[in-house]
């Protein structure tokens, strides 16, 4: 059973209870979003529902409102269970449902997730909770401790199911679903409908209603999307110029790796920008502190990886900046959907290095939106903008302090010291504006398009751009043979079945290509390592383009990989002690 877009309706048309309707009105909502308009009626009627929708489309209310309408407040048992992939999303969902339940007196909601005191959670569950929102791991923990009883659960929600599967929670999810009462309603939301998702729906959902928000509704028309062709080493400079040019006060910056997040935060702080980072290595208390400062406005720039940003929902974002172009098209939609919400306008800026431009074209094809090419603001532009704001600020201060004579003698004191009025004002402006020349001030920060850049997909080097290998490493989809180019076998010399003489560990690889260094990795064929895994890991962690990686020889217990000489030490530092497919990696220069 499938439902498509409906005619325009309001929340008043959905027959909501007075308590819920009052909360919805107070939150400023009048018309439901597409996923709410299509989802709330079948969920209210008791159908199992599959909703295909991205973050930011309002799906929490699509299942949260019907969940509140069915709660029996005379019982203290858990009646609704919501599973989320991350701690942040669990907290966000519980808070959102809490706002919708503002006038449901006596209703209790509990978020349970790792990193929080399990003893506190147990005490709360014992007192009685109606709705539990949790991560699969912590819910399983409570199941095993028998501190969470599913006997009265009438609604089960899987929120962002594809992300939970990507994070390895499939077995936990299936174990939890198996413990649920047979007579229950199951709601599943996912950005994609992969085979594992469909397998779960066939096994655990009963004749579900399928709701799909079409793609052109996913890319918000309120968002101005602009890309800037930038030299990799100049990305930070360009980003700070955009922040100054547009006077961005609340900004989310996306990077592809945890290492890059830390680097960008450090560089921004050195330049005087109030920034913090969030990624998977932070403890829960650190993440909570970072988010509290960002929501309070103490921190104006939040730098994050895609996984860590799941569940971050901060209203009023001025812009999103893709410092790295995402490795998957759907992540782009997730990212930019965090600005331009609730009818407000937003900006999405993408900083595109030369080896990322083809990924951007894939995104344009996926979203059916042409991303305009922007002109990088010049050093003079930024100085001019800051001067104008400085003058405006002084005018406002003069008007506010017209009757305040406390500082009237400062200029006279400086005149006595031999300084002119012009010198005083110029010194104040320099001190307050903080604009100083650097190595990028008089440089062209955009890369120049070369003749060969347009040769796609037939050029030999172009087909080894590394984009497909990076993406394969993240999502497990092997690039087809015809997509690897006629130089593809370079990645597979030690791994090809048609060369039996090369399969044994006793054999040695051929000579090293000029300008390259051969590295030794302590993982091999027995660890189920594929060439794309090596390329994706090195490119992602070392921030060198996949096309720069040379021959990869995979043997039973180890692997040789050739990288440019200039990048060898960078790769060794980035990869040593890291993991590939869960296997710890040690890297040395091959002997």
- CA distance between the termini of the chain: 62
Q: What is the mean pLDDT of the chain?
A: 79
Residues 6 or more apart whose Cβ sits within 8 Å of residue 450: none
Tens digits of per-residue pLDDT, 317-347? 889 999 999 877 778 887 888 887 656 778 9
Domains of the chain: 2-217 (3.40.50.300), 219-376 (3.40.50.300), 381-433 (no CATH), 454-589 (3.30.70.330)
Q: What is the mean pLDDT of residues 556-579?
A: 84
Q: What is the pLDDT of residue 253?
A: 95
pLDDT at 183 over 50: yes
Question: What pLDDT score was predicted for residue 483?
Answer: 36
Percent of the chain at pLDDT > 90 equals 29
User: Token match 């009685």: residue?
Assistant: 128
Q: Using one digit for the tens of pLDDT, what is the confidence trace for 250-287?
A: 999 999 888 899 999 999 998 889 999 988 777 778 88
Q: What is the rounded CA–CA span in Å between residue 49 and residue 39?
A: 8
pLDDT the model gives residue 510: 73
Rounded to whole angstroms, what are the CA distances from 152 to 49, 110, 121, 398?
20, 16, 19, 66
What local confidence, expressed as pLDDT, does residue 385 receive?
79
**pTM value?**
0.51
Strand order in the sheet with 223-229: 275-278, 301-304, 251-254, 319-322, 346-352, 223-229, 372-373
**What's the pLDDT at 436?**
61
pLDDT at 492 over 60: no
Backbone angles phi, psi at 134, to 5 degrees: -150, 165
């Amino acid at each position: 059973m499938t439902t498509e877009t409906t005619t325009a309706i309001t929340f008043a048309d959905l027959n909501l209870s007075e308590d819920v309707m009052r909360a919805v009105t107070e939150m400023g909502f009048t018309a439901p979003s597409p996923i709410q308009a299509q989802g709330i009626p079948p969920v209210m009627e008791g159908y199992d529902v599959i909703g295909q929708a991205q973050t930011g489309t309002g799906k929490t209310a699509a299942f949260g409102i019907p969940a509140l309408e069915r709660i029996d407040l005379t019982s203290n048992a858990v009646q609704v269970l919501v599973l989320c992939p991350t701690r942040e999303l669990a907290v966000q969902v519980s808070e959102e449902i809490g706002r919708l339940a503002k006038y449901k007196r006596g209703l209790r909601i509990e978020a349970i997730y790792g990193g929080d005191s399990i003893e506190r959670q147990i005490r709360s569950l014992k007192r009685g909770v109606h709705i539990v929102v949790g991560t699969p791991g912590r819910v399983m923990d409570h199941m095993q401790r028998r501190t969470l009883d599913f006997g009265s659960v009438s609604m089960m929600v899987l929120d962002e199911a594809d992300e939970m599967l990507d994070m390895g929670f499939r077995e936990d999810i299936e174990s939890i679903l198996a413990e649920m009462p047979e007579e229950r309603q199951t709601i599943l939301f996912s950005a994609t409908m992969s085979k594992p998702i469909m397998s779960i729906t066939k096994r655990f959902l009963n004749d579900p209603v399928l709701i799909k928000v079409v793609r052109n509704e996913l890319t918000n028309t309120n968002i101005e999307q602009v890309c800037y062709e930038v030299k990799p080493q100049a990305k930070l400079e360009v980003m700070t110029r955009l922040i100054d040019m547009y006077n961005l006060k609340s900004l989310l910056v996306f990077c592809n790796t945890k290492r890059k997040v830390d680097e960008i935060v450090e560089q921004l702080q050195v330049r005087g920008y109030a920034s913090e980072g969030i990624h998977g290595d932070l403890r829960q208390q650190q993440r909570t502190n970072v988010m509290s400062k960002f929501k309070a406005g103490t921190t104006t720039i939040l730098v994050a990886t895609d996984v860590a940003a799941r569940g971050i929902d901060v209203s009023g974002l001025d812009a999103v900046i893709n410092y790295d172009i995402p490795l998957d098209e759907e992540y782009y939609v997730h990212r930019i959907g965090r600005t331009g919400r609730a009818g407000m306008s937003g900006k999405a800026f993408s900083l595109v290095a030369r080896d990322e431009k083809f990924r951007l074209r894939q995104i344009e094809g996926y979203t059916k939106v042409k991303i305009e090419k922007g002109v990088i603001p010049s050093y003079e532009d930024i100085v001019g903008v800051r001067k104008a704001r400085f003058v405006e600020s002084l005018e406002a201060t003069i008007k506010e302090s017209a009757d305040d004579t406390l500082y009237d003698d400062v200029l006279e004191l400086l005149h006595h010291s031999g300084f002119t009025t012009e010198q005083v004002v110029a010194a104040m402006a320099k001190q307050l504006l903080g604009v100083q020349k650097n190595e990028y001030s008089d440089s062209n920060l955009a890369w120049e398009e070369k003749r060969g850049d347009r040769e796609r997909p037939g050029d030999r080097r172009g087909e080894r751009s590394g984009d497909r290998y990076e993406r394969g490493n993240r999502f497990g989809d092997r690039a087809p043979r015809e997509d690897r180019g006629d130089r593809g076998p370079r990645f597979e010399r030690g791994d090809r079945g048609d060369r039996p003489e090369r399969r044994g560990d006793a054999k040695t690889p051929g000579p090293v290509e000029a300008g390259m260094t051969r590295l030794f990795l302590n993982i091999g064929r027995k660890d189920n390592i594929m060439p794309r895994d090596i390329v994706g890991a090195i490119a992602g962690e070392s921030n060198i383009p996949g096309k720069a990686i040379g021959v990869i020889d995979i043997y039973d217990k180890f692997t040789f990989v050739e990288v440019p000489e200039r990048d060898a030490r960078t790769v060794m530092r980035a990869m040593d002690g890291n993991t590939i497919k869960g296997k710890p990696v040690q890297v040395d220069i091959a002997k």
